[in-house]
Structure 1
């Protein structure tokens, strides 16, 4: 079991306050305290684009937009329960935006 910070600090203080002046155990007590205080290094994060999460509203919207007929704001609001202004904001800020002019009729 890993010693607690409180236990390690008490050990350092006990050695420090030793009336006999025997501080021979101080280096070990300090080393134990340092082990507890040192933060573990974070695992390296993968580089490059992240894999998109599945079953998100963003994925729902993208699936609708990938259809040959595309999607209206009303269809997207119905599928996501978003307000129309949220859909427009999503489309305006999306890095997936592709614009084209469709032929009428």
Structure 2
């Protein structure tokens, strides 16, 4: 059974067959991370001795707070330990309230 798409499909297959194969890396070899990415910037902030707050990371990358927290979850999945250096709570009398509260994070190891 011949359809109207047989000719164009054969032409497409021939065009794709002439393409060189994608460069593949050896099994088990780690890929080289790209430079100048937002993820790299976040990792640099978290590797500092003083760590970084979510607000600092949001300002550096333009991400929203939930995106930063999701990135932290991904780091944990990949085996990086994100530790809390300091928690500052501004709740109670004569304090700024929850908006003045912040947490400082850092990657260990």
Structure of higher RCO (CA pairs closer than 8 Å, 6+ residues apart): 2
Unaligned runs of 5+ residues in structure 1 are 1-8, 10-32
> Where does 1:26-65 land on structure 2 (aligned, <5 Å)?
37=14, 39-40=17-18, 42-47=21-26, 48-65=29-46
Give the strand-richer structure, 1 or 2. 2
Unaligned runs of 5+ residues in structure 2 are 1-6, 88-109
Match of 1:98 in 2: 81
Match of 2:107 in 1: none
| CA RMSD between the two structures | 3.0
The structure whose Rg is larger is: 1
SS of residue in 1 equivalent to 2:40: helix
Give the helix-richer structure, 1 or 2. 1
Distance in 1 (alpha carbons) for counterparts of 2:56 and 2:24: 37
- Count of matched residue positions in the alignment of Structure 1 and Structure 2: 72
Distance in 2 (alpha carbons) for counterparts of 1:56 and 1:49: 18
Q: Extract structure 1 runs of 4+ deviating beyond 3 A.
A: 99-104
Return the TM-score normalized by structure 2.
Answer: 0.54
Distance in 1 (alpha carbons) for counterparts of 2:58 and 2:80: 18
Distance in 2 (alpha carbons) for counterparts of 1:96 and 1:55: 22
> Where does 1:70-81 land on structure 2 (aligned, <5 Å)?
70-81=51-62
